[in-house]
Amino acid sequence: MAPVRTLPVLTLKELSKKEDLFTHGHRLCSGCGAPIVVKMVLFASDHPVVACSSTGCLEVSSCISQHTAWKIPWIHSAFENAAATVAGVESMYRVLKKKHRINKEIKFVTFCGDGGTYDIGLQSLSGAMERGHDMLYICYDNGAYMNTGIQRSSATPLGADTTTSPVGSVIPGKTQQRKNLTRIMAAHDIPYVAQASISHWLDLMKKVRKALEIKGPKFMNILSPCNRGWRSRTDDAILLSRLAVDTCYWPLYEVENGAIRITFKPKEKKPIVDFLKPQGRFKHLFRPENEWIIKKFQEDVDREWERLQKEALP
């Protein structure tokens, strides 16, 4: 693999001088995590970026009729084929470079929600990664199909109340644990996989910069709180993202050429209830009859965190 060039240190002063490539005026909800993800990713890149988004919150809210918030070339794909769309554009780019019709270095990025990544678009994503396209696929994970009515996805955590796993006399919310897609992507043996959070901006942006310098397929899973679906305050996106990291529900790590490295360890690991309590989608778990769900949730988080620490480089 070609060596990764040394990148300049990221500072807020330097970032403040960069052009905002995802502008104000979009229709995403107040407090949404998705535009924060996009802004951080685009600020992190030192190269021109061509992006694609499948149908979802980000897509429908950032390009309405003739109005768009994107100041880069951007493509809207169907729900299921964002990875294939970018793979096709990246293939065309390589041909044009060989013909010397394009000389500049361009990076290709997808921004897709968990519905279009974990579920509907998984076949497209897996295929693009297996074929080795030079692209970065970013999932902004808000844990449900938020754009279409807050239906559960395979990214929805255990016990969450959604419109298709409603709390009632039959079920106490979603009865399955969330899919660990980051590990699934690492199992593809691609050059780079990472998990990040908007609460830890420097960690996130360093991972984006590293990914964009690596040739071949890359995947990043970034937690993206949704106050509508999570039933939380509109100003809690950063707080909830930080709690997800500090409880180890959302550990920050990277897998580079098969080697796992934890990029942030909480000084004091907090109990999972600290992450669950501010979210209305979990309020039923604090009833006496549902306490077993919190216990199981905590056990699952602890088991995955212990496993990750054992597998990671010292």
* pLDDT tens readout for residues 265-307: 999 999 999 999 999 999 999 999 999 999 999 999 999 999 9
In a domain, 160, yes or no: yes
Residue in this structure with the two tokens 């070609």, named with its chain if needed: 2
Residue 53 in tokens: 């988004």
The pLDDT > 90 percentage for the chain reads 93
DSSP per-residue codes, 176-212:
SPPP-HHHHHHTTT-SEEEEEETTSHHHHHHHHHHHH
User: How many whole angstroms from its chain centre is CA 239?
Assistant: 17
Over the chain, what is the mean pLDDT? 96
In a domain, 46, yes or no: yes
Q: What is the CA radius of gyration of the chain?
A: 19
Residue 3 confidence (pLDDT) above 60: no
Residue in this structure with the two tokens 């754009």, named with its chain if needed: 147
Q: How many domains does the chain have?
A: 1
Task: Say how far apart CA 6 and CA 216 lie, in whole Å.
Answer: 18
> What's the predicted TM-score (pTM) here?
0.95
- Split at pLDDT 50, 70, 90, the class of 53 is very high
- Split at pLDDT 50, 70, 90, the class of 54 is very high
3-state secondary structure of 53: strand
What would the 3-class secondary structure string for the chain be? CCCCCCCCCCCHHHHCCCCCCECCCCCCCCCCCHHHHHHHHHHHCCCCEEEEEECCHHHHHHEECCEECECCCEEEECCCCHHHHHHHHHHHHHHHHHCCCCCCCCEEEEEEECHHHHHCCHHHHHHHHHHCCCEEEEEEECCCECCCCCECCCCCCCCCCECCECECCCCECCCCCCCCHHHHHHCCCCCEEEEEECCCHHHHHHHHHHHHHCCCEEEEEEECCCHHHHCCCCCCHHHHHHHHHHCCCCCEEEEECCEEEEEECCCCCCCCHHHHCCCHHHHHHHCHHHHHHHHHHHHHHHHHHHHHHHHCCC
In a domain, 7, yes or no: no
Whichever domain contains 241, its CATH number is 3.40.50.970
Residue 7 confidence (pLDDT) above 80: no
Task: Name residue 218's beta-bridge partners.
Answer: 136, 192
- Split at pLDDT 50, 70, 90, the class of 6 is low
Residue 238 in tokens: 């950063």
The mean pLDDT of 125-130, rounded to a whole number, is 98
In the chain the first and final C-alpha atoms are separated, in Å, by: 23
In a domain, 2, yes or no: no
Give the type of residue at 130.
E
Whose CA is closest to 221, among 180, 162, 276, 176?
180
Q: Can you give the residue range of the structural domain that contains 25?
A: 20-311
- Split at pLDDT 50, 70, 90, the class of 24 is confident
In a domain, 205, yes or no: yes
pLDDT computed for residue 16 by the predictor? 85
148-171 pLDDT, tens digit each: 999 999 999 999 999 999 999 999
pLDDT computed for residue 10 by the predictor? 80
In a domain, 10, yes or no: no
3-state secondary structure of 291: helix
Task: Say how far apart CA 228 and CA 248 lie, in whole Å.
Answer: 23
In a domain, 14, yes or no: no
In a domain, 4, yes or no: no
- Split at pLDDT 50, 70, 90, the class of 122 is very high
